[in-house]
Amino acid sequence: MVRVLVLTHGRFGHELLAVAEKILGPVSGIDVMSNEERSALQLAEDVRRWLDSGAASDASNRSAGVPAAMILIDDQGGSCATAALCAEADRPTAIVIGGLNLAMLLGLILWRESLEPQELADRLVEKGRQAIIRIEPPV
């Protein structure tokens, strides 16, 4: 199962995971990191440390030809996205997905054990987009 880091501005990731747990029950194996009180360099180093912390399982995944880790961020072009990309510069097998929303996180929790990382990533992007709709009042 791919390792996952939720990397967001402020407490967004922590709160999103707390909401997901209210819906689906306790969740394990998803790490959360905030950009609070960190420079770009410090944040990238912390992400790199997180990537390094799973070196053994990542190596096992890599040898099997599948991505080692997945990083979900809340915004494109922000400090989290920059840190994720800078940290995985020499780890091209990590998957970075932007635009994190609740639908994506719920999908991740539901599918991460059954889907391979590449397919999981595609499904999460699709799920996240599907959740963004204009809700019309009933007629």
Partner 1 sequence: MSILLARIDDRFIHGQVTVGWSQKLRPDCIVLANDDIAADAWRSRVYAQSVSPEIEVAVLALAAAAERLQSEPDPGRERTLLLTGSPADMRELADRGVPLPEINVGGMHYSAGKQELLPYVYVDHGDVEAFKALIADGCSLRAQQVPGGKETILARGLLVAMEERL
Does residue 75 touch partner 1 according to CB under 8 A? yes
Smallest gap from Cβ 40 to partner 1, in A, equals 4
- CA distance readout (Å), 127 to 39, 44, 49, 73, 113: 32, 28, 29, 15, 17
Smallest gap from Cβ 31 to partner 1, in A, equals 21
* β-bridge pairing 95-97 and 3-8: unpaired
- Of 29, 42, 118, 129, the one binding partner 1 by CB under 8 A: 42
Does residue 101 touch partner 1 according to CB under 8 A? no
- Of 78, 93, 99, 110, the one binding partner 1 by CB under 8 A: 78
Does residue 98 touch partner 1 according to CB under 8 A? no
- Of the candidates 71, 137, 76, the one whose C-alpha atom is nearest the C-alpha of residue 104 is 71
**End-to-end distance of the chain based on CA atoms, in angstroms?**
45
Smallest gap from Cβ 89 to partner 1, in A, equals 4
